Chains A and B, each alone.
Chain A
Protein backbone atom coordinates (compact mmCIF):
# COMPACT_ATOMS: atom_id res chain seq x y z
CA UNK A 1 0.00 0.00 0.00
CA UNK A 2 1.26 3.48 -0.85
CA UNK A 3 1.97 5.72 2.09
CA UNK A 4 -0.36 8.72 2.32
CA UNK A 5 1.06 12.06 1.22
CA UNK A 6 -0.77 13.70 4.11
CA UNK A 7 1.50 14.77 6.92
CA UNK A 8 1.32 12.72 10.10
CA UNK A 9 1.93 15.88 12.11
CA UNK A 10 -1.29 17.69 12.86
CA UNK A 11 -1.98 21.21 14.09
CA UNK A 12 -2.70 19.68 17.50
CA UNK A 13 0.80 18.19 17.57
CA UNK A 14 2.34 21.48 16.46
CA UNK A 15 0.43 23.33 19.16
CA UNK A 16 2.43 21.42 21.78
CA UNK A 17 5.74 22.81 20.56
CA UNK A 18 7.19 25.21 23.09
CA UNK A 19 4.63 24.46 25.78
CA UNK A 20 6.31 23.87 29.14
CA UNK A 21 5.05 20.89 31.11
CA UNK A 22 3.91 21.12 34.67
CA UNK A 23 6.87 21.07 37.08
CA UNK A 24 8.12 17.67 38.27
CA UNK A 25 10.07 17.66 41.55
CA UNK A 26 13.19 15.52 41.47
CA UNK A 27 16.36 14.98 43.43
CA UNK A 28 19.69 13.18 43.14
CA UNK A 29 20.03 11.17 46.34
CA UNK A 30 23.44 10.26 47.72
CA UNK A 31 22.52 6.59 47.41
CA UNK A 32 21.65 6.87 43.73
CA UNK A 33 24.66 9.07 42.93
CA UNK A 34 27.02 6.60 44.55
CA UNK A 35 25.28 3.67 42.92
CA UNK A 36 25.76 5.08 39.42
CA UNK A 37 29.34 6.00 40.30
CA UNK A 38 29.96 2.40 41.42
CA UNK A 39 28.39 0.97 38.26
CA UNK A 40 30.67 3.19 36.17
CA UNK A 41 33.68 2.26 38.34
CA UNK A 42 34.42 5.96 38.75
CA UNK A 43 37.20 6.60 41.27
CA UNK A 44 37.25 10.37 40.77
CA UNK A 45 37.73 11.83 44.29
CA UNK A 46 35.68 14.90 43.36
CA UNK A 47 32.58 12.76 43.67
CA UNK A 48 33.53 10.61 46.66
CA UNK A 49 30.93 9.90 49.35
CA UNK A 50 31.89 12.78 51.63
CA UNK A 51 31.97 15.54 49.01
CA UNK A 52 28.23 15.98 48.62
CA UNK A 53 28.82 16.54 44.91
CA UNK A 54 27.42 14.23 42.26
CA UNK A 55 29.28 13.49 39.04
CA UNK A 56 27.87 15.14 35.90
CA UNK A 57 26.55 11.83 34.59
CA UNK A 58 24.28 11.66 37.65
CA UNK A 59 21.99 13.54 35.29
CA UNK A 60 21.04 10.04 34.11
CA UNK A 61 19.28 9.58 37.47
CA UNK A 62 16.92 12.44 36.71
CA UNK A 63 16.10 11.37 33.17
CA UNK A 64 12.65 9.91 32.53
CA UNK A 65 12.69 6.26 31.49
CA UNK A 66 12.28 5.62 28.71
CA UNK A 67 13.18 9.02 27.35
CA UNK A 68 10.25 9.00 24.97
CA UNK A 69 7.95 7.65 27.65
CA UNK A 70 6.79 10.96 29.08
CA UNK A 71 3.00 11.30 29.14
CA UNK A 72 1.45 11.85 25.70
CA UNK A 73 0.20 15.30 26.69
CA UNK A 74 3.89 16.27 26.92
CA UNK A 75 5.40 14.19 24.12
CA UNK A 76 2.88 13.26 21.46
CA UNK A 77 2.86 9.64 20.28
CA UNK A 78 2.38 9.94 16.56
CA UNK A 79 3.77 6.55 15.60
CA UNK A 80 3.88 3.50 17.87
CA UNK A 81 7.58 2.67 17.76
CA UNK A 82 10.23 4.91 19.25
CA UNK A 83 13.99 4.90 19.47
CA UNK A 84 16.37 7.39 21.01
CA UNK A 85 18.58 8.75 18.23
CA UNK A 86 20.29 11.84 19.70
CA UNK A 87 21.01 13.19 23.17
CA UNK A 88 22.55 16.33 24.57
CA UNK A 89 23.43 17.04 28.19
CA UNK A 90 24.40 20.51 29.38
CA UNK A 91 25.57 21.40 32.88
CA UNK A 92 25.63 24.88 34.35
CA UNK A 93 27.09 23.79 37.68
CA UNK A 94 27.68 20.69 39.81
CA UNK A 95 24.83 18.68 41.27
CA UNK A 96 24.54 18.49 45.05
CA UNK A 97 23.20 15.41 46.81
CA UNK A 98 19.69 15.89 48.06
CA UNK A 99 19.18 19.28 46.43
CA UNK A 100 15.53 19.61 45.38
CA UNK A 101 15.24 20.33 41.68
CA UNK A 102 12.30 21.01 39.45
CA UNK A 103 12.14 19.48 35.98
CA UNK A 104 10.05 20.97 33.20
CA UNK A 105 9.79 19.31 29.83
CA UNK A 106 8.84 20.73 26.48
CA UNK A 107 8.77 19.63 22.88
CA UNK A 108 10.92 21.99 20.87
CA UNK A 109 10.41 20.54 17.40
CA UNK A 110 8.52 17.83 15.52
CA UNK A 111 9.65 16.85 12.05
CA UNK A 112 8.57 14.24 9.59
CA UNK A 113 11.02 12.20 7.61
CA UNK A 114 10.51 9.99 4.60
CA UNK A 115 12.89 7.16 3.93
CA UNK A 116 15.96 6.21 5.91
CA UNK A 117 16.37 3.19 8.10
CA UNK A 118 13.03 3.71 9.88
CA UNK A 119 11.01 4.36 6.75
CA UNK A 120 8.46 7.11 7.25
CA UNK A 121 9.21 8.49 10.68
CA UNK A 122 8.59 11.40 12.99
CA UNK A 123 11.39 13.06 14.94
CA UNK A 124 10.30 14.53 18.25
CA UNK A 125 12.87 16.74 19.95
CA UNK A 126 12.22 17.29 23.64
CA UNK A 127 14.12 19.46 26.10
CA UNK A 128 14.13 19.35 29.86
CA UNK A 129 15.35 22.04 32.21
CA UNK A 130 16.39 21.26 35.78
CA UNK A 131 16.18 24.29 38.06
CA UNK A 132 16.36 24.97 41.76
CA UNK A 133 13.27 26.27 43.53
CA UNK A 134 14.87 29.72 43.24
CA UNK A 135 14.90 29.34 39.46
CA UNK A 136 18.63 28.73 39.00
CA UNK A 137 19.27 26.63 35.91
CA UNK A 138 21.44 23.66 36.92
CA UNK A 139 21.29 21.39 33.87
CA UNK A 140 19.46 20.83 30.61
CA UNK A 141 18.88 17.86 28.37
CA UNK A 142 17.67 17.52 24.81
CA UNK A 143 16.74 14.25 23.17
CA UNK A 144 15.55 13.27 19.75
CA UNK A 145 13.19 10.32 19.69
CA UNK A 146 12.53 8.89 16.26
CA UNK A 147 9.04 7.49 16.14
CA UNK A 148 8.26 4.89 13.52
CA UNK A 149 5.71 2.25 12.74
CA UNK A 150 7.22 -1.23 12.78
CA UNK A 151 4.16 -2.57 10.96
CA UNK A 152 4.10 0.28 8.48
CA UNK A 153 0.39 0.81 9.20
CA UNK A 154 -0.39 4.20 10.67
CA UNK A 155 -0.58 6.70 13.42
CA UNK A 156 -0.94 6.16 17.14
CA UNK A 157 -3.15 9.15 17.90
Chain B
Protein backbone atom coordinates (compact mmCIF):
# COMPACT_ATOMS: atom_id res chain seq x y z
CA UNK B 1 0.00 0.00 0.00
CA UNK B 2 1.54 3.29 -1.05
CA UNK B 3 1.11 6.62 0.69
CA UNK B 4 -0.94 9.34 -0.97
CA UNK B 5 -0.15 12.97 -0.19
CA UNK B 6 -2.48 15.93 -0.18
CA UNK B 7 -0.44 17.86 -2.76
CA UNK B 8 -0.65 14.99 -5.23
CA UNK B 9 -4.44 14.89 -5.26
CA UNK B 10 -6.55 16.99 -7.62
CA UNK B 11 -10.26 17.59 -7.82
CA UNK B 12 -11.54 15.30 -10.56
CA UNK B 13 -9.13 12.47 -9.77
CA UNK B 14 -10.79 9.09 -10.09
CA UNK B 15 -10.07 6.28 -7.69
CA UNK B 16 -9.28 3.01 -9.37
CA UNK B 17 -12.48 0.92 -9.35
CA UNK B 18 -12.46 -2.23 -7.23
CA UNK B 19 -14.77 -5.17 -7.81
CA UNK B 20 -16.32 -7.04 -4.90
CA UNK B 21 -18.35 -10.23 -5.06
CA UNK B 22 -20.84 -10.33 -2.21
CA UNK B 23 -21.28 -14.08 -1.97
CA UNK B 24 -23.93 -15.67 0.23
CA UNK B 25 -21.16 -16.63 2.64
CA UNK B 26 -19.80 -13.07 2.87
CA UNK B 27 -23.31 -11.67 3.44
CA UNK B 28 -23.95 -14.27 6.15
CA UNK B 29 -20.57 -14.20 7.86
CA UNK B 30 -20.36 -10.41 7.97
CA UNK B 31 -22.63 -10.31 11.01
CA UNK B 32 -21.23 -13.40 12.78
CA UNK B 33 -19.78 -12.51 16.17
CA UNK B 34 -17.75 -14.21 18.87
CA UNK B 35 -20.05 -16.68 20.59
CA UNK B 36 -22.87 -16.02 18.14
CA UNK B 37 -23.44 -18.04 15.00
CA UNK B 38 -23.91 -16.25 11.72
CA UNK B 39 -27.41 -14.92 11.49
CA UNK B 40 -29.88 -16.08 8.91
CA UNK B 41 -29.46 -13.71 6.00
CA UNK B 42 -32.27 -11.43 5.06
CA UNK B 43 -33.85 -12.36 1.77
CA UNK B 44 -35.05 -10.08 -0.94
CA UNK B 45 -38.74 -10.29 -1.72
CA UNK B 46 -39.59 -12.32 -4.77
CA UNK B 47 -39.65 -10.01 -7.74
CA UNK B 48 -42.26 -9.91 -10.45
CA UNK B 49 -39.91 -12.01 -12.55
CA UNK B 50 -39.80 -14.62 -9.77
CA UNK B 51 -36.27 -13.72 -8.71
CA UNK B 52 -35.38 -13.94 -5.07
CA UNK B 53 -32.06 -13.85 -3.34
CA UNK B 54 -30.10 -13.03 -0.24
CA UNK B 55 -29.85 -9.35 0.53
CA UNK B 56 -26.39 -7.79 0.68
CA UNK B 57 -26.36 -6.00 4.07
CA UNK B 58 -26.17 -2.23 3.78
CA UNK B 59 -23.45 -2.08 6.43
CA UNK B 60 -21.34 -4.52 4.41
CA UNK B 61 -21.43 -2.05 1.52
CA UNK B 62 -20.55 0.83 3.85
CA UNK B 63 -17.69 -1.26 5.24
CA UNK B 64 -16.37 -1.96 1.75
CA UNK B 65 -16.54 1.72 0.85
CA UNK B 66 -14.73 2.59 4.09
CA UNK B 67 -12.01 0.06 3.29
CA UNK B 68 -11.85 1.40 -0.27
CA UNK B 69 -11.16 5.02 0.67
CA UNK B 70 -8.88 3.96 3.54
CA UNK B 71 -6.75 1.93 1.12
CA UNK B 72 -6.71 4.82 -1.34
CA UNK B 73 -5.52 7.24 1.36
CA UNK B 74 -2.62 5.01 2.39
CA UNK B 75 -1.11 4.13 5.76
CA UNK B 76 -0.84 7.68 7.10
CA UNK B 77 -4.27 8.69 5.84
CA UNK B 78 -7.35 8.64 8.02
CA UNK B 79 -11.01 8.22 7.16
CA UNK B 80 -13.14 10.80 8.99
CA UNK B 81 -16.62 10.12 7.69
CA UNK B 82 -18.50 7.93 5.25
CA UNK B 83 -22.06 8.87 4.44
CA UNK B 84 -24.28 6.90 2.08
CA UNK B 85 -27.79 6.66 0.70
CA UNK B 86 -29.07 3.21 -0.20
CA UNK B 87 -30.76 3.63 -3.53
CA UNK B 88 -31.89 0.04 -3.95
CA UNK B 89 -31.13 -3.42 -2.57
CA UNK B 90 -28.47 -5.72 -3.98
CA UNK B 91 -28.75 -9.48 -4.20
CA UNK B 92 -25.76 -11.64 -3.37
CA UNK B 93 -23.45 -13.15 -5.98
CA UNK B 94 -23.77 -10.23 -8.41
CA UNK B 95 -20.57 -8.18 -8.61
CA UNK B 96 -20.44 -4.69 -7.16
CA UNK B 97 -17.85 -2.23 -8.35
CA UNK B 98 -16.67 0.38 -5.88
CA UNK B 99 -15.98 3.73 -7.49
CA UNK B 100 -14.86 7.12 -6.27
CA UNK B 101 -13.79 10.51 -7.47
CA UNK B 102 -12.30 13.48 -5.68
CA UNK B 103 -14.74 16.39 -5.54
CA UNK B 104 -12.99 18.80 -3.13
CA UNK B 105 -9.83 19.33 -1.13
CA UNK B 106 -9.07 21.89 1.53
CA UNK B 107 -6.99 22.73 4.57
CA UNK B 108 -9.01 22.84 7.74
CA UNK B 109 -7.49 23.65 11.13
CA UNK B 110 -4.11 22.48 9.92
CA UNK B 111 -5.52 19.23 8.54
CA UNK B 112 -5.58 18.28 4.87
CA UNK B 113 -9.04 17.09 3.98
CA UNK B 114 -10.20 15.46 0.76
CA UNK B 115 -13.84 14.85 -0.16
CA UNK B 116 -14.61 11.85 -2.31
CA UNK B 117 -17.87 10.86 -3.96
CA UNK B 118 -18.27 7.10 -3.70
CA UNK B 119 -20.67 4.53 -5.07
CA UNK B 120 -21.30 0.83 -5.37
CA UNK B 121 -22.14 0.16 -8.99
CA UNK B 122 -24.31 -2.83 -9.80
CA UNK B 123 -24.77 -4.14 -13.31
CA UNK B 124 -27.47 -1.61 -14.10
CA UNK B 125 -26.39 1.40 -12.09
CA UNK B 126 -25.50 2.62 -8.62
CA UNK B 127 -27.08 0.83 -5.67
CA UNK B 128 -25.38 3.03 -3.07
CA UNK B 129 -24.18 6.58 -3.49
CA UNK B 130 -22.36 8.62 -0.91
CA UNK B 131 -19.45 10.73 0.15
CA UNK B 132 -16.35 10.14 2.20
CA UNK B 133 -14.02 12.55 3.91
CA UNK B 134 -10.40 11.56 4.45
CA UNK B 135 -7.35 13.30 5.89
CA UNK B 136 -4.10 12.95 4.02
CA UNK B 137 -0.59 13.84 5.12
CA UNK B 138 1.16 16.75 3.41
CA UNK B 139 4.67 16.52 1.99
CA UNK B 140 7.39 18.19 3.96
Residues of A within 8 A of B (CB): 29, 31-32, 35-36, 39-40, 42, 44-46, 55-57, 60-61, 63, 65, 67, 83-91
Contact = CB atoms under 8 A, between A and B. Distances in A.
A153 to B, nearest CB: 18
Interface stretch (B8-16, B65-73, B102-110, B119-127): B65-73
A32 B39 CA distance: 14
Interface in B22-37: 26, 29-34
Nearest to A37: B67
A65 B42 CA distance: 12
* CB-based closest 7 A-B pairs: A57-B63, A88-B83, A31-B34, A57-B66, A90-B81, A60-B59, A86-B85
Contacts of A61: 33
Contacts, number: 76
Contact of A89 (B60, B62, B64): B62
With most chain B CB atoms within 10 A of its CB, the pick from A31, A35, A55, A89 is A89
B97 interface: no
Nearest to B128: A87
A149 to B, nearest CB: 15
Nearest to A58: B63
A143 B31 CA distance: 18
B80 interface: yes
Given A56-B70, A56-B79, 4 more contacts: A39-B29, A44-B75, A57-B67, A67-B59
Given A39-B26, A39-B29, A87 B70 contact: no
Contact of A32 (B34, B64, B82): B34
Contacts of B82: 88-89
Contacts of A32: 33-34
B95 interface: no
Nearest to B39: A65
27 contacts: A32-B33, A32-B34, A35-B29, A35-B33, A36-B63, A39-B29, A39-B30, A40-B67, A42-B67, A44-B67, A44-B71, A45-B75, A56-B66, A56-B79, A57-B66, A83-B86, A84-B58, A85-B85, A86-B83, A87-B59, A87-B84, A88-B81, A88-B82, A89-B62, A89-B82, A90-B81, A91-B81
B136 to A, nearest CB: 15
B1 interface: yes
A91 B33 CA distance: 22
Contacts of A87: 58-59, 62, 83-84, 86
A56 B78 CA distance: 9
